[in-house]
Every structure is written in structure tokens, then in C-alpha cells.
């Protein structure tokens, strides 16, 4: 669908409210200060996603949550492996490095962080729009970012020429970086925009 | 010095030996590599979905069927003989799994099937297929030797 500048602004505001809640949740969970960028709204062909996430074969931890309810979509939280390591250590209250590829406890902790972030984002979005939304169980991949994202975007076997997503950078002190991406399905966008009257 | 030519998502490129074709971060997508071992020319396509299904508009290099057609046309333009062409493919992973919800039609598997089908239809033998699994792949294809180097983050590196 074509999106007007006014609608893009509305989506940025949706992203701002949702991501603000998510950042607060992360901050509470990790007991650290978390800063958040002003969300950016992108409407681009998926092929150009490296403009947003950088080199497609850098390793990142990706937590993927499906958004279910009246306006379905996808939510993705991604962070560099070093940040994922810090997050896990903060949660376990230890300085000991864990093998994120094999340690199931560490993996569930990462999934849980993604779950909390996405849930807080969705609660804010539901309250704001009046549309009920629920998160699925989270799934995790620690792999090439391009590989993880193509699997998420192409999962349903279709791909619009232009995909729209809301992208927020999160950073914590010290040394945590993350990126939160919300991707409404094509039909959901109309519903979300309709619900807030734009 | 060998040149390394990068192939983006939903993109295809051709090359002459000694150049190498590269595509990074294949998940459920597939890298189709085709070369003529005598003339030492070839190409690579990074496809995302099985079939264009007659859809008009959009980028034809996204789909297995339309991308292969374009790639073969361009390889032929370099002088390659179709009956000599050989193919190697990699990708088609399923990166995420949700407990209790097996996807009915995994897109990675569907992509692999479509690519195999299209190559067969064109009479091009597949010498190696590194498809499936749950991990990403970055691939380098030497159009002269036909060597395909497959790098993963946590599942080693191999040459097929």
C-alpha cells in the first residue's frame, strides 16, 4: 500500500509510544539505563534491508515474535552477540561468559528478554489503538542477520514490493546495543491507522 | 587478483574466470550458481521465493523461475553453451522454529524444490546442493573451477 507522509508520522508516533514502553521494560529488567532513538519508519523493498541492519552476514542475536490478534504482524529484536552476552550476564548476575550457541539457559533468557520487550510494545500499541494484540512464543536465532531476516520476512511465502517497518535503536549503559523492528502485515497497517483516525 | 562480485538479495550477476561471485547471509533464500566449465564463465542468482506466479511488476530476480530465466539469458550472452552448464545450489534453511507449531509449507524447502525443478526443466544437472538446516550461509562461487565455498557461523565451512 502507498503511505502518505502524514501516515508515516502517525506510525512513527505509534513506534515511539510502543518502543518507549519496551525500553522501560528492558531498563527495569536489566537495572540499567536504556536510551532509545526516535523511531524511524521505513517503506522500502526488502532487498534494501541492509540499509537498516548493515552487512548481511554479521552475526546477531535475533528474537522473533509473531504478533497475533486483530492486526497481525511481526516483531523482531536484534542485538550484536557482544550485547547479547552482556544481557545474559546481567540477568544471571555473573561475569562468566556463556556459549550462546549451545547454552539453553542463556538462550531462554534471551528469548525472555525479547518476549518482555515485545509484550510491552504490544500492550502500549493495544491501549493506544484499541486493537487487541498478543505476542506468540518467542523464537531465537544467533546467526547471519540477513539469513534471520529473510526467513522472517519470507515466512508466509509472499513479499510485497515495499515493506513497511518501524525501527528503533536501543542502547544501554554500558555497552548494550539493540534494535527493535515492528512489521505490521499489509492489512494490519490500514487497521492500525484507521483506529487512530489517519 | 581475482575480483569478487557481490550479488545482493533478489539480484543476479554473471562473471568470467578468475572472478568470484559472492552472496552473503542466505537464510530461506537460495543461491543458484551456474557455470560453463569449458568457457569458464558463470553466474549466480539470490532468489527469495519459489515462483512469480504470473505476477506483473516487481523485481523478477526475486523468484526462482523468473530469476533463472534471466540468469541463463545473461550467461548465454557471454557465449556459454547451455548443454555444458552445471549448477550448484545452497540455502533454503528454516531459521526459526516455534514449539508445537510445525509450519505446513516451509518456505526454505519450497524454494529448494522450485530451484531444483527449474534447473531440471532447463536440463542443467545439479552437481551439489547444500540446502536445508537451520543456519545461514554465505557463499563464494568460482565460475572457472565451479568450486562453491559455503561459510556458516556455527556449522563450519566447506567447499563443494
Q: Looking at residues A108-135, what average pLDDT do you find? A: 88
Residue B45: partners with Cβ closer than 8 Å, 6 or more residues away: B7, B11, B12, B31, B32, B61, B67, B68, B70, B71
pTM for this model (two decimals):
0.90
- Mark yes or no for CB contact B28/A150 under 8 Å: yes
- How far is Cα A192 from Cα B5, in angstroms, rounded to an integer? 42
Phi, psi of A103 (to 5 degrees): -80, 110
Distance from CA of B84 to the nearest CA of A (A): 32
Per-residue pLDDT band for B137 (boundaries 50, 70, 90) equals very high
Q: Looking at residues B138-160, what average pLDDT do you find? A: 96
Residue A165 contacts residue A154 (beta carbons within 8 Å):
no
* Given the residues B10, B15, B26, B29, the one annotated as active site: B29
DSSP per-residue string spanning A132-186: -EEE---EEEEEEHHHHHHHHHHTTS---SSEEEEEEEEEETTTEEEEEEEEE-H
pLDDT of residue A183: 86
Rg of chain B in Å (alpha carbons): 15
ipTM of the complex in this document? 0.90
CB-based burial of residue A12 (10 Å sphere; 0-12 exposed, 13-18 middle, 19+ buried)?
A: middle
Residues of A with Cβ-Cβ distance to B10 under 8 angstroms: 45-47
Residue A51: partners with Cβ closer than 8 Å, 6 or more residues away: A42, A44
Q: Looking at residues B96-102, what average pLDDT do you find? A: 75
Amino acid at each position: 500500500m502507498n503511505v502518505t507522509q502524514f501516515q508515516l508520522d502517525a506510525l512513527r508516533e505509534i513506534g515511539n509510544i510502543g518502543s518507549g514502553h519496551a525500553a522501560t521494560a528492558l531498563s527495569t529488567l536489566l537495572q540499567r539505563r536504556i536510551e532509545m532513538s526516535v523511531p524511524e519508519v521505513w517503506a522500502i523493498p526488502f532487498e534494501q534491508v541492509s540499509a537498516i541492519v548493515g552487512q548481511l552476514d554479521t552475526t546477531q542475536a535475533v528474537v522473533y515474535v509473531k504478533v497475533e490478534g486483530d492486526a497481525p504482524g511481526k516483531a523482531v529484536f536484534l542485538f550484536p552477540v557482544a550485547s547479547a552476552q552482556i544481557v545474559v550476564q546481567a540477568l544471571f548476575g555473573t561475569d562468566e561468559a556463556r556459549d550462546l550457541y549451545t547454552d539453553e539457559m542463556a538462550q531462554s533468557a534471551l528469548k525472555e528478554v525479547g518476549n518482555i520487550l515485545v509484550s510491552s510494545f504490544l500492550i502500549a500499541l493495544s491501549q493506544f489503538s484499541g486493537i487487541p494484540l498478543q505476542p506468540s512464543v518467542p523464537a531465537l536465532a544467533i546467526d547471519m542477520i540477513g539469513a534471520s531476516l529473510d526467513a522472517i520476512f519470507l515466512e508466509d511465502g509472499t513479499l510485497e514490493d515495499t515493506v513497511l517497518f518501524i525501527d528503533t535503536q536501543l542502547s544501554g549503559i554500558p555497552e548494550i546495543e539493540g534494535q527493535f523492528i515492528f512489521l505490521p502485515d499489509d492489512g494490519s497497517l490500514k487497521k492500525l491507522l484507521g483506529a487512530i483516525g489517519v | 587478483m581475482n575480483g569478487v562480485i557481490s550479488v545482493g538479495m533478489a539480484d543476479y550477476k554473471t562473471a568470467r574466470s578468475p572472478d568470484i561471485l559472492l552472496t552473503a547471509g542466505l537464510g530461506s533464500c537460495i543461491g543458484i550458481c551456474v557455470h560453463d566449465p569449458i568457457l569458464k564463465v558463470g553466474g549466480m542468482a539470490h532468489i527469495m521465493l519459489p515462483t512469480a506466479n504470473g505476477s506483473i511488476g516487481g523485481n523478477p530476480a526475486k523468484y526462482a523461475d523468473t530469476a533463472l530465466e534471466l540468469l541463463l539469458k545473461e550467461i548465454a550472452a557471454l557465449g556459454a553453451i547451455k548443454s555444458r552448464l552445471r549448477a550448484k545450489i545452497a540455502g533454503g534453511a528454516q531459521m526459526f522454529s516455534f514449539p508445537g507449531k510445525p509450519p505446513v509449507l516451509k518456505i526454505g524447502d519450497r524454494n529448494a524444490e522450485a530451484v531444483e525443478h527449474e534447473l531440471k526443466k532447463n536440463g542443467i544437472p545439479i552437481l551439489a546442493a547444500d540446502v536445508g538446516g537451520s543456519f545461514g550461509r554465505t557463499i563464494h562461487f568460482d565460475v572457472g573451477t565451479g568450486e562453491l565455498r559455503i561459510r556458516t557461523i556455527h556449522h563450519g565451512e566447506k567447499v563443494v
